[in-house]
Amino acid sequence: MTKSFARNYGLIRLAFVAAILTAGAIGAGHAVAEDISGEGPFTVNFTSIAISPTPPVSLSDDRHMGIAENFMTATNASGKGLLHNLTGRCIGWFIVYKSSASYEFHGHCNYIDADGDTVFEKADFDVQPLDSLRVGTGKWLGGTGKYTDLSGVFEIRTSPLKPIREGFVQGIGTKQGNYSLPPSKASK
């Protein structure tokens, strides 16, 4: 094998590998959008993180109120479909009751998918113990793009985790319930 042939063979192999990688990247960027319209049950798993949360203010010796801003990720438990691979942000307010070691939370979230379409969510946790498992209710309030007419109610179960370092608040959980999403006007 001559040096010239070996060098050209190496360049051809490199060009072939680059072509395959480029085709894969182009194909991945142009995935066919899955139709998520319809209705039925769903289960979504999520993670939550708050960085340097704002300290609460005292309302009395027993009650403290604060605001919470959490950054979220969400994925459909089935690995596809409604609300799969989204990022989000939630803002709300909470009250902690020291004497009963309980709290309540009320807020709203926005989730966004890879297409830039947004989901609007309302979340409420009525007064309950500050145990490791917290249970609330959620409601889809529509959204943009493919989520414009999304509706449904669901249960939210969340558990706080030991944070990776001081100044972080982390948690995991599930959202489980039913949804309705009529076909988008663009797909008719």
Number of H helices, E strands in the chain: 1, 9
**Contacts of residue 163, Cβ cutoff 8 Å, sequence gap at least 6:** 169, 170
Predicted confidence at residue 185, as pLDDT, reads: 53
Within-domain flag for 188: no
**Same domain, yes or no, for 14 and 72?**
no
**Same domain, yes or no, for 66 and 82?**
yes
Predicted confidence at residue 147, as pLDDT, reads: 95
How many folded domains does the chain comprise? 2
Helix (H, G, I), strand (E, B) or coil at 64: strand
What is the H or E stretch that residue 15 is in? helix 3-29
Predicted confidence at residue 26, as pLDDT, reads: 32
**Same domain, yes or no, for 103 and 156?**
yes
- Domain encompassing residue 26: 1-31
**Same domain, yes or no, for 74 and 47?**
yes
**Same domain, yes or no, for 57 and 73?**
yes
Distance between CA atoms of 128 and 94, rounded to whole angstroms? 12
Distance between CA atoms of 150 and 126, rounded to whole angstroms? 24
Predicted confidence at residue 101, as pLDDT, reads: 95
What's the token pair of residue 2?
């001559």
Predicted confidence at residue 37, as pLDDT, reads: 84
Q: How far is CA 45 from the centre of its chain?
A: 8
Predicted confidence at residue 2, as pLDDT, reads: 47
Chunked mean pLDDT (size 10), the chain, 188 residues: 42 34 35 73 96 89 96 96 94 96 97 96 96 92 96 96 91 97 66
Q: At which residue do the structure tokens 């972080």 appear?
A: 168
**Same domain, yes or no, for 138 and 64?**
yes
Within-domain flag for 126: yes
**Same domain, yes or no, for 82 and 139?**
yes
**Same domain, yes or no, for 48 and 3?**
no
For the CA atoms of 112, 167, 107, 150, what is the dihedral angle to 10 degrees? 20
